[in-house]
Amino acid sequence: MAEKYVFSEGLFTLKNLRSLGAAAILEVAIAVGVAGILIWQQLHPAPPPPPIQSASLEIPPNPPPPPPPPPRNVPTPQPPQPQPLSEVPPIPTPIPTPNAVPVQPPSPPPIPTSRPPNQDSIMAEFQASMRAAIDAAKVYPKEAVMAGETGTVTVSFDYVNGVVSNIHVDRSSGSRAIDKSAMQAVQKAAMPPKPAELAGVGHFVILVNYSLGG
């Protein structure tokens, strides 16, 4: 029984030593942790708190001063009053007298004609000269002489700058040979020079007569 008691006491002492060692280690660890925290706080001080920002206050502008009161004893302007219309006296109209002669408007100036007064006579003389030149150049066709054919041919043509062109038979004599001879006579005739008064005239009509024994 004595040996068993001794063994139990030895076991109890060993457990106590282990408990004390663990407690000592725990205290050392706590002390080291606290010392580490203090050192870290000294090396890393806490940042200063941010400055307190005061809210900016906007001061409203002063209100405009009230308008000055209107001066006293000032008459209020009155709107313009319409002016009455005055009667316009009638305009007296002249009374025509029975013996008054109406005023005639001036006569317009005479309208100038396209031809001068003596152009017709100049045209007649020039046509007679051309007819004489054609008669001098015409040849009576033999077949018309043998057949006893006669007649008058109305021939029209242009005469510009001494040149005859566009010869036409406006009215036939009834004989083809006489009509052809009249056109050839107009082409071969030595036409007289055109007068200056007929410078603007270029178309002419001439009667060419064919008669036997004349």
The string of pLDDT tens digits covering residues 31-60 is 888 888 888 777 766 666 666 665 555 666
More reliable by pLDDT, 173 or 27? 173
Tell whether 81 is covered by a domain: no
- What pLDDT is attached to residue 27? 82
Tell whether 206 is covered by a domain: yes
Tell whether 160 is covered by a domain: yes
Q: What is the DSSP string of 136-153?
A: HH----HHHHHHT--EEE
List, in sequence order, every residue forming a beta bridge with 163; answer none if it has no partner.
160
- What pLDDT is attached to residue 212? 87
Q: How far apart are CA 99 and CA 124, in angstroms?
A: 54
- 80-110 pLDDT, tens digit per residue, is 676 666 666 666 666 655 555 556 666 665 5
More reliable by pLDDT, 112 or 71? 71
Contact 155, 183 (CB under 8 A): yes
Number of domains into which the chain is organized? 1
Tell whether 78 is covered by a domain: no
Q: List the CATH number of the domain containing 149.
A: 3.30.2420
Contact 167, 179 (CB under 8 A): no
List, in sequence order, every residue forming a beta bridge with 208; answer none if it has no partner.
153
Tell whether 202 is covered by a domain: yes
Closest CA to 214 of 146, 172, 151: 151
List, in sequence order, every residue forming a beta bridge with 209; answer none if it has no partner.
152
- 129-174 pLDDT, tens digit per residue, is 999 999 999 999 999 999 999 999 999 999 998 899 999 999 999 9
Provide the percentage of residues in the chain whose pLDDT is more than 90.
39
Return the DSSP state at 197.
Answer: G
Q: How far apart are CA 126 and CA 201, in angstroms?
A: 12
Tell me the average pLDDT of the chain.
Answer: 78
More reliable by pLDDT, 35 or 75? 35
More reliable by pLDDT, 128 or 78? 128
Given a cut of 70, is residue 185 above it in pLDDT? yes
Question: Which residues are CB-neighbours of 191 under 8 A, at least 6 positions away?
Answer: 130, 133, 159, 162, 164
Model confidence band, residue 190 (pLDDT cutoffs 50, 70, 90): very high
- What pLDDT is attached to residue 7? 44
- Residue-range definition of the domain harbouring residue 150: 141-210
